[in-house]
Structure 1
């Protein structure tokens, strides 16, 4: 599966892709997640413990051990565990920093017990004070805490830049950034646009979304419809993806934060690759990483089950195949460019001599 990409890149599959199967509960969640490996989709899995362990957010040792043993039997391993940080004890009472730490610690211990390399939180949620308290435990457990940036969260945005500066200031390999490539969307998913059209979103706006997604004025039109209260109720939740989950950045925008990045979510929604809307961001990413010595995880994460009924195993398998080809093409191009530049430099020196 990984032929053509650098050995320091680990392709994974997220258990999140199987959310519809897990919530349907026709089979035990543990069997579904271990099946990702048993069915040959990927040998490394990112976990969503809220879907897997009934005792979450304080996973019982026996429940964690049972899953790890089952995964070991099929030759699988865990990359990252999605952590949760509930900042409130009630609707009106916020947790203290110590209470937030106490809420997180059992999850860190469970992640170490299941054999994970790291845990994941949204960018900036922990904050500098909690990060300082949790750092010694991360070192003790040999875990990496990844803070995830995604969708509209561009690295230079005022809401995100301070959190990135905090991580950079720590200069600690146990606190890194995870980038979700929902940030890098040259065009919107065709199936999503069709869902909006069927749901009653004005055709003029759907056409604009299809043709001018990266035009800032298009997002203004999206917000105007929201503020008018005229988004059809049946697609209101889906419509919010436009202002939260779908980004308009380029891979080059990530260059400045690459030294902080230890992993990527290869977010995809469908596999309709018209104009390279799925594969081009992957090629661009492969080129960026191939020229910068990246080492870390690249995880297939499917968000389209919100409106599609595709089989998770089939679509994840096909996405990983597409991603491998696109990433390898990008990395190969970066290596070739580097070799040409090196050769040109050598020729220049010879001529000067």
Structure 2
């Protein structure tokens, strides 16, 4: 028999993968998300800003319709992506109470739709707001996940205090979500091709292709940006190098694993040349099997920024790849233990 992932790990898919279809609006967002449960996977992470017109204060009727349509297909929600708009204008920051009031309707909607938790970027809430949210999280039985991703690292000055705050709370209702975009051994093949077509020099392309994890490579990319030599047509795409694509090692996560309750299995394309897609998954399976992790592992496709592939087919294939890679190393890890 082929190895399987442990029963206390849950493979999911994010509705974010279907962003191009949702924004095209040829079908309703609800129909698209319900279709995920019907044909891809039963457990779904929601991006409500794409789904509910009344977001960030979702109306009960919208929430109930989605919950019921998913339930009819045997589907359920894992995590809801929350939003915390800290400013009411370019210069006016919300007070602590206003920030709490902004989030509370989203927590109620997450509980109403049947989710296990909500998600925010790492450190955005801050310790004061987390402390105020704790009673409501317990009342609604929700977990608030703070996400670390891309170029962020556990020791980054903007990240470490947030991790310390979560650890200091010692509360299972406040956890960390890790996006494995942190763990990229190499850049996506299709992304490199987009840069090539966009006019990036062969010299920098060679470094990006062969020496992604060398700090000097990122320095060269930053230097090109600062010199104003990135072609305007690919400027936004180029910024992924500085923000969304990480260079961490799986071992860098070891110290924070006790705080982690969920993962985003970020992928950009499915070209596994040099195991650039499967290696982070295999490394993660080995790491988690030794740590006793329980939680969700969610397929999240970021490559629709430059690819026109079918999100349903891409997600199905990625989930199959992820399940195989995670299961193989998880089984090996348990055998070693």
TM over 0.5: yes
- The corresponding residue for 2:9 is 9
- Equivalent positions of 1:64-213 (< 5 A) are 64-213=63-212
CA distance in 1: counterparts of 2:91 and 2:156, whole angstroms: 29
Q: Which residue of 2 aligns with 1:253?
A: 252
CA contact (8 A) 2:150 2:181 kept: yes
Instruction: Give the secondary structure class of the aligned counterpart of 1:291.
Output: helix
Offset, 1:91: 1.3
Provide, for residues 108-143 of structure 1, a one-character-per-residue CA deviation record: whole Å limited to 9, x for no partner: 000000000000000000001101111110001000
Could you tell me how far apart the structure 2 residues matched to 1:291 and 1:220 are? Answer: 35
Render the CA deviation track for 1:22-43: whole Å, top value 9, x for unaligned. Answer: 000000000000100111x111
Partner of 1:63: 62
The equivalent of 1:38 in structure 2 is 38
Deviations 1:174-222 (A, max 9, x none): 0000000000000000000000010111111011100000000001001
Q: TM-score when scaled to structure 2?
A: 0.99
In 1, distance between residues paired with 2:41 and 2:290? Answer: 25
Deviations 1:301-343 (A, max 9, x none): 00000000000000000000000000011101111211xxxxx
Q: Name the larger-Rg structure.
A: 1
- Name the SS for the 1:310 alignment partner: coil
CA distance in 2, matches of 1:329, 1:204: 38
Deviation at 1:155, TM superposition (A): 0.7
Unaligned runs of 5+ in 1: 339-353
Match of 1:348? none
- Cα distance in 1, alignment partners of residues 332 and 231 from structure 2: 45
- Any idea what SS the aligned residue of 1:289 has? helix
- Whether the 8 Å contact between 2:29 and 2:51 is mirrored in structure 1 is yes
Q: Name the residue aligned to 1:22.
A: 22
State the partner residue of 2:333: 334
- Name the CA distance, whole Å, in 1 between partners of 2:329 and 2:215: 28
Question: What is the match of residue 276 of structure 2?
Answer: 277
State the distance in 2 between where 1:229 and 1:92 align. Answer: 28
Total equivalences in the alignment: 336
CA shift, 1:90, in A, is: 0.9
Aligned-pair CA distance for 1:157:
1.5
Shift, 1:3, TM fit: 6.0
For 1:304-315, what aligned pairs fall within 5 Å after superposition?
304-315=303-314
**Cα offset for 1:92?**
1.3
Q: Hey, what's the Cα distance between the residues in 2 that align with 1:335 and 1:58? A: 44
Q: CA RMSD in A?
A: 0.8
Partner Cα separation in structure 2 for residue 25 and residue 15 of structure 1: 14
Paired residues of 2:3 and 2:328 also in contact (CA < 8 A): no
CA distance in 2, matches of 1:135, 1:229: 46
Cα shift readout 1:135-164 (whole Å, capped 9, x = no counterpart)? 110001000000000001111122211110
Is the 8 Å Cα contact of residues 3 and 331 (structure 2) preserved in structure 1?
no
Structure 2 residue aligned with 1:346:
none
Task: State the match for 1:350 in structure 2.
Answer: none
Q: Secondary structure at the match of 1:246?
A: coil
* Alpha-carbon distance between aligned partners in 2 of 1:239 and 1:162, rounded to the nearest angstrom: 29
Q: Give the TM-score normalised by the residue count of structure 1.
A: 0.94
